Amino acid sequence: MIIGFDAKRANANFTGLGNYSRFMVDTMATYGNEHKYRMYIPKECKNALYDSLLKHKNVASILPHSSMMKRCRALWRTFFIKRGLLQDGVQLYHGLSNELPVGIHRTGIRSVVTIHDLIFLRYPQYYHFLDRLIYNRKFKYACRKADRIVAVSECTKRDIVKYYGISPEKIDVVYQGCDPIFARPVSPEAKERVRKAYGLPDRFVLSVGTIEERKNLLSAVKAVEMLDDVHLVAIGKSTDYTETVKAYIEAHGLEDRVHIIHNLKFGDLPVLYHMASLFVYPSRFEGFGIPIIEALSAGVPVIAATGSCLEEAGGAHSIYVGPDDVKGMAAAMRRVLSDKALRDEMIAKGKEYVVRFDPKKLADEMNAVYLKCFDDKNTDEERFVQTSSNKRTKISRYIPFL
């Protein structure tokens, strides 16, 4: 089968949606190598992580062909990409980041969309009105028109059912794993290099994620403030909320104990996980929580917030506290940092738990989703392109929709 991916985020994004997109393409190309994969991107950005996907012989990268479409990239991705999909013989198209081309259900090409979260509906105060309007329109359309929906957690699945009225029978939960590099041992020399490069202490608590209000870094800062001689290292993209956190740090004399790092090199991130004594993730709400998987893979005990899906990511042997329970968070940190037996148990159980996010297992689950798109009423030959003559027929029949 020829499978097309919406790879815009895989090429242009270096955080959550980009990481998911690259992970999924790499995983499917590795373990689902009976298929051919086409990554469709509106423009080419310099990205070594994206380029590495092309090492797979069954993966190709495709840009708009005409000068008009190169100038109108957003229109190409939303509307006109269907012509190229048909010409390339794509039989299934996977929208990796919450959206699908308009009218794809009329082309005969099966479609799958991954929905990561509906946080903009749960917590509208964190989003601009226009952004919420656009997201809601795109996400709802994709959910209604896709043959199958992939939710990245049971929590996200429940939200899709609740907010969009989609039948749970149409939704499959397929988790995301993380890059195997996080589980690999790190040499003392690498740790010392990173420690000196960023001026870090010998012992610290780590937090990873965009420094925005929803991710609630300030609670972790306040919890560390309650502990003696405990440092916090926060890794993430800066937003306006960062200034709120920095103002608190300065007002309470925590400059020497809280270390905020932006634009960290990806190769240094696994090293930092292996250096950390504890990982804390106080986010109020997430679609899943990949940093928790990264921490468990690296052998770091985890403390995370209740209220969304983080228990799915962290398992029963991680510790969970309310996102606003600063005293509870501080007490949990103190307990883990001071109890070696507890730490060792959390590390061992975490490594056992994280096996469920093995890439081969996830590839098999995603492939099963793809095959469901061709079940029962969807199996008629008219629904997908098989030969060159069919391609020409489909193009002439469906392009007028635009």
Same-domain pairing of 143 and 42 = yes
pLDDT of residue 198: 95
Same-domain pairing of 53 and 83 = yes
Beta-bridge partner residues of 208: 235
Written as one string, the DSSP assignment of 37-74 is: EEEE-SS----HHHHGGGGSTTEEEE---SHHHHH-HH
Q: Which amino acid is at 20?
A: Y
Cα–Cα nearest to 196, from 267, 268, 266: 268
Average pLDDT over residues 159-186: 96
Same-domain pairing of 217 and 351 = yes
Average pLDDT over residues 231-256: 97
CATH code, 66? 3.40.50.2000
Q: In angstroms, rounded to a whole number, what is the distance separating the alpha carbons of residues 290 and 177?
A: 7
112 and 25 Cβ atoms separated by less than 8 Å: no
Same-domain pairing of 192 and 316 = yes
pLDDT of 37 above 90: yes
Same-domain pairing of 138 and 254 = no
Same-domain pairing of 375 and 339 = no
Same-domain pairing of 347 and 371 = no
Q: For residue 341, what pLDDT band results from cuts at 50, 70 and 90?
A: very high
Same-domain pairing of 216 and 156 = no
pLDDT of 38 above 50: yes
pTM of the model: 0.88
Same-domain pairing of 140 and 201 = no
What confidence tens digit (pLDDT) does each residue in 42-84 have?
Answer: 999 999 999 999 999 999 999 998 999 999 999 999 999 999 9
Same-domain pairing of 293 and 190 = yes
CA distances to 77, 209, 263, 310, 347 from 283, rounded to whole Å, are: 32, 9, 20, 9, 21
pLDDT of 386 above 80: no
Q: For residue 244, what pLDDT band results from cuts at 50, 70 and 90?
A: very high
Residue 143: which residues within 8 A CB-CB, separation 6 or more?
A: 113, 115, 149, 160, 164, 166
Average pLDDT over residues 371-381: 67
Q: By percentage, how much of the chain surpasses pLDDT 90?
A: 88
Q: What residue numbers bound the domain in which 149 lies?
A: 2-177+358-401
pLDDT of 376 above 70: no
Cα–Cα nearest to 5, from 75, 116, 88, 126: 88
* Number of domains the chain contains: 2
What confidence tens digit (pLDDT) does each residue in 104-153 have?
Answer: 999 999 999 999 999 999 999 999 999 999 999 999 999 999 999 999 99
Same-domain pairing of 382 and 285 = no
Same-domain pairing of 347 and 366 = no
Q: For residue 397, what pLDDT band results from cuts at 50, 70 and 90?
A: very low
Instruction: Select the more confidently predicted residue: 167 or 387.
Output: 167
